[in-house]
A and B are shown apart, each in its own frame.
Chain A
């Protein structure tokens, strides 16, 4: 990199640091002092937070709502904003967010994120069959989240959610180890989720 390009690179790194509230990796620079106190920087930080929120609420509504109901969505947004590994493509942010939560310590959040990730992948053309294990009945939880309500109590038990293109409604729920129920696996079409919008069918 030439000396001139190195100056440009240093300025860009400093602006990234300012935007993300990190220590600025350069020495004294009057321009950076000007930026640090500017209305524009505050506004940019606000706008980037809005974008993340809008994008996640739109592309990952179930997990966003589940986290919000647990009082964790704001922290998740903040962490995502500081995460240096967020994808460069705006359309990939929601998938990155879902992948961050599929191993969440809260089993409900992990199950919701895993299910939503599978729905999103399948709706985008993925031909794989995805299975997500739940420790409670997923149907009332997912329906409540779709309606914007708190998940509420759900019957405990071992449930399996299957997400696949060969399911008429993309998604099916069955109780594991329960032959009677598994023979009558409940097909659920979670209308209202963006992943289902391209295959809207009644069940």
Chain B
């Protein structure tokens, strides 16, 4: 399928879609080039016996006739020293067998420890041992799936431990060793700047932008003086502007995604979400 945006040489524009909302889907396929789906957010079953809901899988399969599908997981836990989540990979297997994936991605962090969920996602220390761990797993993933694999910078909520790399250096080394690409979540950069004083200009200057293949744009909220990565709102103008800046500087951005939580859809409404997709396309054109 030729994406709507690829025909004019711009990043394709995507949006989160969980499934089960046909009225929203009907509108999204008119304005977006791809849907970002999370296999683990709609899985059914327990423990290692997780499956994607059949109705949702059918819905995604039908949508794939009109738009491309990108998988973006939450629960792989690629950075868990005790082991990643194999049940999540079986969901990706199931999805990849049903729908052609343009690419798939995960967060550079961890959500479980010894199999127990943290209830949130934590970032990794930027150390050699963490890098070795993630690189070995990225290479295994690249051997398992033909679709390109990308990793996303996550917003850090906790202070950094001492590390061997700075923010950009860690990502550069990861991409260099594995050939994997990056999802650059520009809202997460704004969170890190607000919460921990990240210098975004310095970060972007140091990052090898050729590895950035997707941009994430979202709107969150601020609580207790901290900016939270909750994808519950429209993107701020600063976030869209940062995405446009990154898209202009990075030579191989395949797509830019407006991310929204399913829980926020009833609050925002379909019109707002459609407008956000259109707004992102305009900003990156």
Interface on A for B, CB 8 Å cutoff?
A: 1-2, 4-9, 11-13, 15-16, 19, 31, 34-35, 38-44, 46-48, 51-52, 54, 58, 81, 84-92, 95-96, 99, 124-125, 197-198
- Give which listed residue, B47, B116, B130, B159, contacts A16 with CB less than 8 A: B116
Question: B159 is contacted by which of A9, A38, A81 (Cβ under 8 Å)?
Answer: A38
B159→A48 contact, CB < 8 A: no
Kindly provide the distance from the CB of A23 to the nearest chain B CB, expressed in whole angstroms. 15
Q: Considering the chains assembled together, what is the distance between the CA atoms of A11 and B54 in angstroms?
A: 39
CA distance A81 to B120 in the complex (A): 11
CB of B268 within 8 A of chain A?
A: no
Alpha-carbon distance between A43 and B133 when the two chains are bound, in angstroms = 28
Report whether A41 and B158 are in contact in the complex, using a CB–CB cutoff of 8 Å: yes
Which residue on chain A has the smallest CB distance to residue B18?
Answer: A91
CA distance A43 to B43 in the complex (A): 28
**CB-contacts of B240-260 with A (<8 A):** none
Specify which chain B residues have a CB less than 8 angstroms from the CB of A16 in the assembled complex.
113-114, 116, 118
| CB nearest neighbor in A for B114 | A13
Separation in Å of the B46 CB from the closest CB of chain A?
5
A8 with B127: in contact, given A88-B115, A89-B87 (CB under 8 Å)? yes
Q: A88-B88, A95-B45 are in contact. List 8 more A-B contacts (CB 8 A).
A: A15-B118, A40-B159, A43-B224, A81-B119, A86-B117, A89-B85, A91-B50, A198-B20
Q: Find out whether the CB atom of A91 lies under 8 angstroms from the CB atom of B158.
A: no
In the complex, which residues 215-259 of chain B have their Cβ closer than 8 Å to any Cβ of chain A?
A: 223-226, 228, 230
Given contacts A35-B158, A125-B55, A197-B20, contact A19 B118 (CB under 8 A): yes
User: Of A8, A44, A85, A87, which is within 8 A of B130 by CB?
Assistant: A8
- 19 example contacts (A-B, Cβ-Cβ < 8 A) are as follows A4-B128, A8-B133, A12-B82, A13-B114, A15-B118, A19-B118, A19-B119, A40-B157, A46-B223, A54-B263, A84-B116, A88-B88, A89-B40, A89-B50, A89-B75, A91-B41, A91-B42, A92-B43, A92-B47
Complex Cα spacing A62 to B26, Å: 30
7 smallest CB-CB distances across A and B, nearest first, come from A48-B119, A4-B129, A9-B81, A16-B113, A8-B81, A40-B157, A124-B44
Interface residues of B in 35-65 (CB under 8 A from A): 40-47, 50, 53-55
CB <8 Å contact, A89 and B43: yes
Residue contact A87 to B47, C-beta cutoff 8 Å: yes
Binding site for A on B (CB under 8 A): 20, 40-47, 50, 53-55, 74-75, 77, 80-82, 85, 87-88, 110-120, 122, 124-125, 127-130, 132-133, 156-159, 161-162, 195, 223-226, 228, 230, 263
Q: Assuming A84-B116, A91-B42, A91-B43, is B158 touching A15 (CB within 8 A)?
A: yes
Q: Are A86 and B116 in contact, CB atoms less than 8 angstroms apart?
A: yes
How far, in whole Å, are A89 and B133 apart by their CA atoms in the complex?
22
Rounded to whole angstroms, the CA-CA distance of A92 and B40 in the bound complex is 9
B111-A88 in contact (CB<8A):
yes
B124: A residues at CB distance < 8 A = 8
Which residues from B are CB-within-8-Å of A51? 119-120
Complex Cα–Cα for A89 and B94 (A): 15
User: Which of chain B's residues has its CB closest to A51's CB?
Assistant: B119
For A44, list chain B residues within 8 Å (CB).
120, 157-158
- With beta carbons under 8 angstroms apart, the residue of B128, B158, B230 that contacts A40 is B158
- Of all chain B residues, the one with the shortest Cβ separation from A83 is B116
Q: Are A52 and B119 in contact (CB under 8 A)?
A: yes
Please state if A31 and B161 are interface contacts (CB–CB under 8 Å): yes
- B53 with A124: CB separation less than 8 A: yes
From the candidates B115, B120, B156, B224, name the one contacting A19 in the complex (CB within 8 A): B120
Most chain B CB neighbours (cut-off 10 Å) among A2, A6, A19, A38: A19
Q: Which of B40, B88, B158 interacts with A38 by CB under 8 Å?
A: B158
Q: How far is the CB of B25 from chain A (nearest CB, A)?
A: 13
Residue ID in chain A nearest B223 by CB atoms: A43
Bound: A43/B127 CA distance, A: 25
Q: A38-B158, A96-B46 are in contact. Are A48 and B133 (CB under 8 A)?
A: no
Q: Please judge, given known A-B contacts A4-B132, A42-B224, A43-B226, whether A15 and B159 are in contact too, CB under 8 Å.
A: no
